[in-house]
């Protein structure tokens, strides 16, 4: 399908763009173009868009693209760009925080601190949106996104809204799947892709959540955020485009330790390099193609398997077509 024949009966208020270079929307700053990108004006507009979407149109929800590699040949279908929209954030009467999917982690952490709440500090160091953090069960320093979730609001491909609780999901380390999806077609897709594919039969994506934090005080929360950011600056190659940890940590070990032990720090393919500062990061030294990065991921995986017998599994999501 080259032109999207949108079937909306109500006029759309969001922005539909074509041939959008995904390097502008991913933290690795490389990759091909999305055939179409839709940035809804708000939740209502998103629902109108989804209800008019032709059945076979591939659909990807994208936040800040901080866990995403789009291959150089680009992406067929439509990217739903939720960062810069779905940006609602407020304190509810019961003390929980209502936060929409496009809100970045840093903004959420600062907002919670301002409300004298404690426990949201770790979100400040994760450069993604709430939607991406829910999809990945993102976490660091002993905290995980879903530990804070009271309820989530989801929509499916048909534009139907649901409110769900953590009990509706199987939740683990960088893993979230609706229990209802177990055994369905969606389970056959790699975990990181499940939320993107929006299988017409089942899958949903996140539009908002209600999060619960404990009472604290703004000063200590701000200090916590500052300390956490300093730690990241000291240990991560934040001066070059990257996507955070490339591989999931295997049970009881660290991917970075294994990669370093195999002598792969500094290994390069084209413009992609295993960071000298943190071995589980691959940096774009300037002109890396998505193929450079993917080839390096494969090479690291093969070398670690050969030398240690352990198979590392990518945490980053790789989508699109090779050139």
Ligand X SMILES: Cc1cc2nc3c(=O)[nH]c(=O)nc-3n(C[C@H](O)[C@H](O)[C@H](O)COP(=O)(O)OP(=O)(O)OC[C@H]3O[C@@H](n4cnc5c(N)ncnc54)[C@H](O)[C@@H]3O)c2cc1C
**Residues with a known catalytic role:** 174, 245, 315
Helix-then-strand count for the chain, H and E: 7, 20
User: Using CB atoms within 10 A of its CB, is residue 150 exposed (0-12), middle (13-18) or buried (19+)?
Assistant: middle
- Is there binding between residue 153 and ligand X (CB under 6 A)? no
Strand 75-81 to strand 59-62: parallel, antiparallel, or no bridges (unpaired)? parallel
How far, CA to CA in Å, does 51 sit from each of 40, 87, 157? 13, 21, 7
Q: What phi and psi values does residue 233 have, to the nearest 5 degrees? A: -60, -35
Between 179 and 302, name the residue whose CB sits nearer to ligand X.
179
Residues 42-71, mask of contacts with ligand X (x by CB under 6 A):
------------------xxxxxxxxx---
Using the rule CB under 6 A, give the single segment among 14-22, 35-43, 190-198, 223-231 that binds ligand X.
Answer: 190-198
Pick from 131, 224, 314, 320 the residue near ligand X by CB under 6 A. Answer: 131
- Is there binding between residue 161 and ligand X (CB under 6 A)? no
Between 83 and 216, name the residue whose CB sits nearer to ligand X.
83
| Contacting ligand X within 196-225 (CB under 6 A) | 196, 205-206
Residues 92-111, mask of contacts with ligand X (x by CB under 6 A):
---------x----------
Q: 3-class SS at 248? A: coil
Please, what is the minimum distance in Å from the beta carbon of residue 251 to ligand X?
Answer: 17
- Is there binding between residue 244 and ligand X (CB under 6 A)? yes
* Residue 19 contacts residue 78 (beta carbons within 8 Å): no
Q: What phi and psi values does residue 35 have, to the nearest 5 degrees? A: -55, -45
Query: What gap in Å lies between CA 108 and CA 250, rounded to an integer?
Result: 29
Residues forming contacts to ligand X in the complex (CB under 6 A) are: 27, 60-68, 82, 101, 125-129, 131-133, 135-136, 138-140, 192, 195-196, 205-206, 236, 238, 242-244, 317
């Amino acid at each position: 399908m080259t032109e999207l024949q949108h079937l909306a009966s109500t006029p759309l208020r969001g922005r539909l763009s074509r041939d959008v270079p995904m390097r502008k929307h991913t933290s690795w700053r490389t990759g091909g173009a999305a055939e179409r990108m839709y940035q809804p004006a708000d939740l209502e507009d998103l629902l109108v868009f989804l209800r008019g979407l032709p059945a076979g149109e591939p659909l990807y929800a994208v936040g800040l693209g901080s866990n995403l590699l789009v291959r150089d040949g680009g992406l067929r279908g439509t990217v739903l760009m939720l960062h810069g929209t779905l940006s609602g954030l407020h304190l509810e009467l019961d003390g929980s925080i209502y936060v929409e999917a496009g809100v970045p982690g840093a903004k959420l952490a600062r907002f919670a601190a301002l409300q004298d709440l404690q426990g949201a500090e770790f979100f400040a160091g994760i450069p993604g949106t709430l939607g991406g953090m829910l999809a990945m069960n993102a976490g660091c320093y002993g905290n995980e996104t879903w530990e804070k979730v009271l309820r989530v609001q989801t929509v499916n491909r048909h534009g139907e809204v649901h409110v769900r609780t953590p009990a509706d999901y199987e939740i683990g380390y960088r893993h979230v799947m609706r229990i209802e999806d177990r055994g369905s077609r969606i389970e056959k897709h790699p975990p990181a892709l499940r939320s993107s594919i929006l299988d017409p039969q089942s899958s949903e994506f996140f539009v908002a959540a209600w999060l619960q934090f404990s009472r604290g005080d703004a000063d200590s929360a701000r200090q916590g955020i500052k300390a956490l950011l300093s730690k990241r600056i000291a240990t991560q190659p934040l001066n070059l485009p990257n996507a955070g940890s490339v591989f999931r940590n295997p049970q009881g070990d660290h991917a970075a330790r294994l990669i370093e032990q195999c002598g792969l720090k500094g290994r390069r393919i084209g413009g992609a390099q295993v960071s000298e500062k943190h071995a589980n990061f691959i940096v774009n030294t300037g002109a890396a193609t998505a193929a450079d990065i993917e080839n390096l991921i494969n090479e690291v995986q093969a070398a670690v398997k050969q030398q240690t017998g352990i198979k590392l599994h990518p945490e980053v999501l790789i989508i699109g077509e090779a050139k």
